[in-house]
Structure 1
Amino acid sequence: MTLYTERQSGSRLRDFFESHAHVLSIAVFLIACCALFTSINDVFLSPGNLLNLLRQAAPTLIVAVAMTFVITTGGIDLSVGSIIALVNASAALLLRAGWDWPVVSVLMLMLGAVIGLFQGYFVAYQRIPAFIVTLAGLSAIRGIALVLTGGFSILIPPGLFLSIGRGTLFGIPSPALMGLAVALIGFIVLNFTVYGRHVCAVGANAEAARRVGIPARRVVASVYVWSGVAAALAALVVAARLGSGSSNAAVGTELDVIAAVVLGGTSLMGGRGTIVGTVMGALTISVISNGLILSKIDAFYTQIVTGAIILIAIWVNTRIFDQVGSVRRKS
């Protein structure tokens, strides 16, 4: 009796590609984008531009990691851009008033957590669709930021706070290191902790998860808390990098974040999330934006081209998922 056949020997490699098809596809797409923009402009791969690209990608990556947890539960958070604007403006006002930057940073992270908890309560315990709750938050939170600033930019006095967005460590921008640290923490939590398994279980089937003893409502509420905290952290990075706070900051960021998560292979239906894919997706968004600017494409066409590229990438990724699922069903 043969215990290990040739078919079984080959199946390990096949299973690997099937399990990681979404990450591999976005990795290939990212490499293709880099090759394309390098052929158009040699500056793209210059050390200075690559470091700048990493610095610009950091806020999107930080929020996208938390958004991965939200979308894995089957939810969505449209308010992250507005939270960034509110925290960005509030931090600038407090710093200008003479508050110490460590105190301001902690208070802003707490503000993000409170906003996330407020929205998570309505989603998890009042059973209002996440789209509706966070859409309301998108409008109301940015409105509060407008009231606080009067629509004007608030300059941040020079100091150590600015090093959060402008500093470097071993030649690598501080925002990039923060983004990678957040991604590493997210990867460990999602893949190697009980909480991460609960997040996936709730997204796959919330009622079944509840019946086996998983605190489904608490898990759902918690992911919005983390989303708020991540948005607040990204806001501090943006404020420190620009040296100012504005109620108009991060307009449209929620779309870039969601696109990065979906590009990476996290299912909008919930139950399946990947932090590695999210990192690839966030880098892809930044590479496309940076590459189009270096290619000197008219700003009026940039958004059109970006949207078309993202749509094509997501379509290809979806087709890969469909083909993998079909192969597995036949097996």
Structure 2
Amino acid sequence: MTAYTERAKGTPLADFLAENAQILSIAIFFLACIVFFSIGTSTFFTLGNILNILRQAAPILIVAVAMTLVIITAGIDLSVGSQVALVNALAAILMAAGFPWPVAVLAMLVLGALMGLGQGWFIAYQGVPAFIVTLAGLSILRGLALYLTQGYSIPIENVPGFFALGRGEILGIPVPALIAVAIAIVGYVALRSTRYGRRVVAVGSNMEAARRVGMPARWIIASVYMVSGISCAIAGLLIAARLGSGSSNAAVGFELQVIAAVVLGGTSLMGGRGTILGTVLGTLTIAVIGNGLILMHISPFFTQIVTGVIILVAIWLNTRIFNAKFRLPGRPGGKAK
């Protein structure tokens, strides 16, 4: 008969390293990128460039926070770039037609919620795989944006209040970065300290078990796509405010950067595990790499290659190493044979 023994308690350092291995690994990689680009170019580690990185990373971080919830439920949202583009174009069209910018902003937030909830309904209540639904959404929503704009950029003129959302600063910090930080804090608290966050993790771990104990599992799944849609609306508005125009070609490849940031931050593609802090570090890492390569006069197209490699390596680490049942020194235990 096989005997089982309780896992012996490891040292505090070993326990800390085991529980935070993914966060520590991305933090070390992030710092290594900063050191590398600081040595490679004299303009990287300047205040102006750091603020520029924060401004550019803000839309990605906003959507990545929501994508973390989606992936924790073992889902995926490939349509985020198209949602951003549609909101970006429609906001410009509304303001060009004379609508007050607060009305346009509110309308786009509602539109984002409806886009996300519509996709979530097909996924949660109709049983269509998230990959298929959001892949269709990627095509439909981008096509709708192209149809509405006819492929042209729509200028936004004389709307200083709206422009402040994308170009303004508070105490020297870009407004988009402050909005992104606020959303990241809300996501962190929601995931760790609220019933909704615990339900998201439970559904991602085992949907059937969550349903059997009385959780509204289907609604939880639909709701994370609604949150994703709202985050896309915010990102689309910030991009329109920064550029002063709306375009159906906005956010091309956006979904690749968002998913890369989330998986690089350690969120499991199998569901049930994820961290907002890791997503923040992943987003900043992607932004630093893109910015640093440009400052080193490397082709911007090379950034896509680097991003793809990062996704592949991150997924490999996610599935092969961090999910493996390995032991750290001072952390013995398991089953005794």
Q: TM-score range by the shorter chain?
A: over 0.9
1:214 aligned residue:
215
The answer on whether the counterparts of 2:260 and 2:307 sit within 8 Å (CA) in structure 1 is no
CA distance in 1 between counterparts of 2:229 and 2:332 reads: 39
List per-residue Cα deviations over 1:54-88 (Å, max 9, x = no partner): 00000000000000000000101011100000000
- Aligned-pair distance for 1:313? 4.8
The answer on whether the counterparts of 1:26 and 1:313 sit within 8 Å (CA) in structure 2 is no
1:253 aligned residue:
254
Q: CA RMSD in A?
A: 1.5
CA distance in 2 between counterparts of 1:145 and 1:42 reads: 40
List per-residue Cα deviations over 1:247-277 (Å, max 9, x = no partner): 0100110111011000000000000010000
Give the partner amino acid of 2:138: L
1:4 aligned residue:
none
1:274 aligned residue:
275
- Aligned-pair distance for 1:20? 1.1
The answer on whether the counterparts of 2:120 and 2:226 sit within 8 Å (CA) in structure 1 is yes
CA distance in 2 between counterparts of 1:178 and 1:105 reads: 15
1:68 aligned residue:
68
1:174 aligned residue:
175
2:3 aligned residue:
none
| CA pair 319-35 structure 1, distance change in 2 beyond 3 A | farther
| CA pair 178-111 structure 1, distance change in 2 beyond 3 A | same
Aligned with 1:158: secondary structure? Answer: coil
Aligned with 1:78: secondary structure? Answer: coil
The answer on whether the counterparts of 1:162 and 1:240 sit within 8 Å (CA) in structure 2 is yes
- Aligned-pair distance for 1:133? 0.4
Alignment of 1:28-43 (within 5 A): 28-43=28-43
Give the partner amino acid of 1:292: L
- Aligned-pair distance for 1:319? 4.9
Give the partner amino acid of 1:221: A
Alignment of 1:56-95 (within 5 A): 56-95=56-95
1:26 aligned residue:
26
2:98 aligned residue:
98
2:144 aligned residue:
144
The answer on whether the counterparts of 1:87 and 1:112 sit within 8 Å (CA) in structure 2 is yes
TM-score normalized with structure 1 length: 0.94
List per-residue Cα deviations over 1:175-195 (Å, max 9, x = no partner): 000000000000000000000
- Aligned-pair distance for 1:312? 3.6
CA distance in 1 between counterparts of 2:319 and 2:38 reads: 27
| CA pair 316-204 structure 1, distance change in 2 beyond 3 A | closer
**Structure richer in helix, relative to its length:** 1
Aligned with 1:44: secondary structure? Answer: coil
Aligned with 2:297: secondary structure? Answer: coil
| CA pair 310-34 structure 1, distance change in 2 beyond 3 A | farther
2:153 aligned residue:
153
- Aligned-pair distance for 1:317? 5.3
CA distance in 1 between counterparts of 2:189 and 2:196 reads: 10
Structure 1 consecutive aligned stretches of length 4 or more whose deviation exceeds 6 Å: none
CA distance in 2 between counterparts of 1:161 and 1:237 reads: 9
- Aligned-pair distance for 1:95? 0.6
Q: Which runs of 5+ in 1 are unaligned?
A: 1-6
The answer on whether the counterparts of 1:262 and 1:314 sit within 8 Å (CA) in structure 2 is yes
CA distance in 2 between counterparts of 1:112 and 1:220 reads: 16
Give the partner amino acid of 1:61: L
- Aligned-pair distance for 1:93? 0.4
CA distance in 2 between counterparts of 1:287 and 1:318 reads: 25
Percent identical among aligned pairs is: 62
CA distance in 2 between counterparts of 1:278 and 1:29 reads: 13
- Aligned-pair distance for 1:161? 0.3
CA distance in 1 between counterparts of 2:65 and 2:302 reads: 29
| CA pair 193-115 structure 1, distance change in 2 beyond 3 A | same
1:111 aligned residue:
111
CA distance in 1 between counterparts of 2:303 and 2:273 reads: 31
1:3 aligned residue:
none
